[in-house]
Amino acid sequence: MFYAVIPAGGSGTRLWPLSRADRPKFLLALTGTSESLLQATVSRVAPLAGPDRTYVVTGVAHAAAVARQVPRLPDDNIVVEPSRRESCAAIGLAAAIIARREPTAVMGAFSADHVVGDDDRFLEILRAAIAAAEDGQMVAVGITPTYPETGYGYLEAGEPVGSGPARRVLRFKEKPEYDLAVKYVESGRFYWNASMFVWRVDVFLGELARQQPALFAGLTEIAAAWDTEERATVLDRVWPSLRKISVDFAVMEGAAEKGLVSTVPADFPWNDVGDFNSLGDALSRSATDNVIIGADESVEQGRVMARDTTGSVLVTRTGRLMVTLGLRDVVVVDTADALFVCDRSRAQEVKEVVADLEAESAQQYL
């Protein structure tokens, strides 16, 4: 059986002031529908993993909001972390819980805050990844790059594995400089690392035990108590001692060195919505299109008049009239208590604004 695990953490500071500490981007509706990014992710995997086989891993601060957004999931399928310990602890705990219920189950991990443009094609790729995982491969879905992106990590692919589309992953590459990214794209051997992973839980936990024995021991101790009255006691005692490390660094890079990792190249539109510029890229059809984001599930849509304005991302959450005139490639975000305006090329720098607000103890804006 296939299980879906959806890590839903972080505050999405690069989408401030739209995203806040109590309302991170995965809880927001950003794609022109009433579904939040989390809800869209759950819907996307539903044809292969129904509510009883879908887990969301989230923090204490967001657990109630997550439960409200995905009411069809059983309460026990919302795994609540006492504190943030990075992706390996989150994904590893879910894997250990699933393994106690079905020791050789295949699971996939999918971030709650990514945008996928073709759900049918996504499912085709996922089925191929599941087939490779059933044969013992640890699969990292690789997105076929459409341009030399410097904000993503890459996978270098080698020879085919088996009779399907899977190819051996030779190594993981960190975010490159632009010139190197150009070479990656031109080579045809490199794919964006979308942090979508598919594996049998026994294979993953075996690699976790080999490479991170202390982390493995802690997670399996928690999982052993998960369906008992001791869950909270064991979780509160063990969780703070777990190493903070991503699953890429903790397991996948070392597994690739052993030849255990493959990739299924994916050609569906994908974006990690890392900032307002990438959100614009995900939602616009051309470089000159404006992206206008109004209503979500709880806020009245404001009016936007974009006069002689191109290539811009315009977000209103106030119900006020927004008028732009003679603007090119800008971001304008209007919320009840903050107005943010910047050039799209500098959208990632909003994290520095958030850091300044934190330094000034301006918690009311965070």
What is the residue extent of each domain of the chain? 2-271, 276-365
What pLDDT, on the 0 to 100 scale, is given for residue 69? Answer: 98
Q: Are strands 167-173 and 313-316 parallel, antiparallel or unpaired?
A: unpaired
Q: Percent of the chain at pLDDT above 90?
A: 84
- pLDDT < 70 stretches in the chain: 12, 295-302
CA dist., res. 64 & res. 69, Å (int): 9
Superfamily of domain 2-271: Spore Coat Polysaccharide Biosynthesis Protein SpsA; Chain A (3.90.550.10)
Residue given tokens 């919320």 in the structure block: 335
| Residue 145 backbone class (left: φ over 0; alpha: ψ -120 to 50; beta: rest) | beta
What pLDDT, on the 0 to 100 scale, is given for residue 302? Answer: 61
C-alpha distances (whole Å) from 287 to each of 27, 189, 282, 311, 336 are 27, 27, 11, 6, 29
User: Is the CB of residue 335 less than 8 Å from the CB of residue 326?
Assistant: no
Strands (E), the chain: 2-8, 54-59, 78-81, 106-109, 115-116, 138-143, 154-160, 167-173, 190-200, 261-263, 265-266, 270-271, 291-293, 304-307, 313-316, 322-325, 330-334, 339-343
Of 65, 19, 80, 82, nearest in space to 350 by CA: 19
Written as six digits, the tokens of 125 are 């790729």
What pLDDT, on the 0 to 100 scale, is given for residue 317? Answer: 85
What pLDDT, on the 0 to 100 scale, is given for residue 298? Answer: 38
| Residue 319 backbone class (left: φ over 0; alpha: ψ -120 to 50; beta: rest) | left
